[in-house]
Amino acid sequence: MADWIYILNPHRDVLDEEPCDKEKILGLAQEDPEAEFWLSRRNRMKRDDRIWFYFTSPDAAVAAVGEVDEAPWVDPDDPDVSYLVAVNLLPEATKALYRDPVGREELGLGQVRSVQMVKPHALPLLLERAGL
């Protein structure tokens, strides 16, 4: 199992035509936890990997988590999207992270890219805050 950081910018990223902010993802986790997210490349993700959602604003922090349902795939119906990945958002863990997010400094993130692996020293903190 691998752990990934997925960057969401609420000013730029949308889901169901709404800004992809912490409140939107928390609501999805509680009401409809199965979602698809866009990827620019496969990133070697596979089923049962975890995705930690890092929101760039208003406060840069990880505030949601989900598990990959299946390996990323090419969307043949949308040539503008490189890959899609199905994620099952974890309601209780997301609620815990929403209440007590893990900030950028705590994660030790350098340059922020769209998707990157979680640094080994940050994983215990993420798991603790998520109650996993």
Fold classified for 3-130: ph1033 like fold (3.10.590)
| pTM assigned to the model | 0.92
The fraction of the chain above a pLDDT of 90, given in percent, is: 61
Q: Would you list the domain boundaries of the chain?
A: 3-130
Cα separation values, 49 from 21, 34, 68, 110, Å: 22, 15, 5, 22
pLDDT tens, residue by residue, 64-79: 999 999 999 987 787 7
